[in-house]
Copies of this chain bind each other. A is one copy, B any other.
Amino acid sequence: MVKVSVMYPNSAGVKFDMTYYLDRHLPMVRDLLGAALKGMSAEQGLAGGQPGAPAPYVAAVHMTFDSVDAFQAAFGPHTDVILADIPNYTNSQPTIQIGQVKL
């Protein structure tokens, strides 16, 4: 199993429309990825690790797939549509992490 994390860096000028993200963007992504998507969780950044520190990421989504190949096969054909929607909810450029689930 692999996890694909899409995390939106926080900064002073960041804008993020959580309602659009949760109600429009993520449901669209889920529909486009279809059965290859095994799990999806999303969160809104609250804080960092030090007292009073801001969250490093304003929001993040974590998606699981059977393999990197399964992710790429599902995501590839829809990359343009998904990326084109990002400016509709944020001016943050996401950091993407692909990891092998170990636990």
A residues in contact (CB < 8 Å) with B: 2-3, 5-7, 18, 22, 26, 40-49, 55-57, 59-62, 68, 94-103
Compute how far the CA of A56 lies from the CA of B57 in the bound complex, rounded to whole angstroms. 13
Give the oligomeric copy count.
2
CB-defined contacts of A57 to chain B, threshold 8 Å: 97, 99
CB-defined contacts of A7 to chain B, threshold 8 Å: 97
Contact B42 A97 (CB under 8 A): no
The 12 listed contacts between A and B (C-beta, < 8 Å) are A5-B60, A18-B102, A41-B103, A42-B101, A42-B103, A44-B100, A47-B98, A48-B95, A48-B96, A48-B98, A56-B97, A57-B97
Contact B44 A97 (CB under 8 A): no
